[in-house]
């Protein structure tokens, strides 16, 4: 039996075949979505390596990793300082702990909602923000997110600095000991 070579299909209007093939998606059994391994988004002035979706082979975080991140962010010096301040304000230790845990659970909701797209599709936050704010408008939430991170770093640094009284050079005694003295 012989086969006759088929004629090539006539070209269709639209994006080139390479762009169409590179933007296809694979839905995995756990619900996560990815592009086929080795494919990238088409060249564009609005795409760079940092904005490409993370391939499935490089997505190593699971539920345990995300849970550990949340716990490590919740169990911090400012959280303990808040709890001790609530106790000093008249709450008992159970009420203070409940307030701190409840506050962390309230913060968890928007964190999960904004992080879900990254976990499911492998896209970074600036790409996710483009769907709501547009291509140029996505710069605003990205900058606000950076400002909040800088502010939180400042709060943590201020609290850590306050926990080391007498350790700066200006408060040392003449003898070099950590407390002011005349010796």
Residue 96: the pLDDT is 94
Q: Evaluate whether 160 touches 77 at the Cβ level (below 8 Å).
A: yes
Q: What is the Cα–Cα distance from 106 to 109, expressed in whole angstroms?
A: 6
Segment 119-144, tens digit of pLDDT: 888 988 888 999 899 999 999 999 99
Q: What share of the chain is helix, strand, coil (3-state, %, to 5)?
A: 55, 0, 40
Residue 174: the pLDDT is 54
Q: Evaluate whether 100 touches 82 at the Cβ level (below 8 Å).
A: yes
Q: What is the Cα–Cα distance from 142 to 74, expressed in whole angstroms?
A: 22
**In DSSP terms, which residues pair with 33 in a beta bridge?**
27
SS3 state at 177: coil
Q: Which residue's structure tokens are 């919740």?
A: 74
Question: Please, what are the averages of pLDDT over each run of 10 residues along the chain (183 residues)?
Answer: 40 42 74 84 84 87 87 84 92 94 91 87 90 93 93 89 65 55 54
């Amino acid at each position: 039996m012989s086969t006759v070579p088929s004629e090539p299909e006539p070209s269709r209007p639209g994006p080139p075949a390479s762009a169409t093939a590179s933007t296809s998606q694979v839905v995995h059994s756990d619900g996560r979505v990815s592009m086929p391994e080795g494919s990238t988004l088409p060249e564009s002035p609005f795409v760079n390596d940092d904005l490409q979706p993370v391939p499935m082979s490089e997505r190593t975080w699971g539920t345990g990793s995300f849970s550990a991140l949340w716990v490590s962010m919740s169990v911090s010096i400012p959280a303990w300082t808040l709890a001790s301040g609530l106790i000093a304000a008249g709450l008992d230790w159970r009420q203070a702990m409940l307030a701190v845990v409840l506050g962390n659970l309230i913060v968890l909701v928007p964190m999960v909602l904004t992080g879900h797209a990254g976990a499911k599709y492998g896209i970074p936050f600036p790409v996710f923000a483009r769907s709501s704010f547009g291509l140029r408008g996505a710069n605003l939430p990205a900058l606000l997110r950076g400002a909040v991170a800088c502010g939180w770093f400042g709060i943590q640094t201020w609290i850590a600095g306050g926990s080391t009284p007498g350790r700066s050079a200006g408060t040392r005694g003449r003898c070099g000991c950590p407390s002011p003295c005349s010796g």
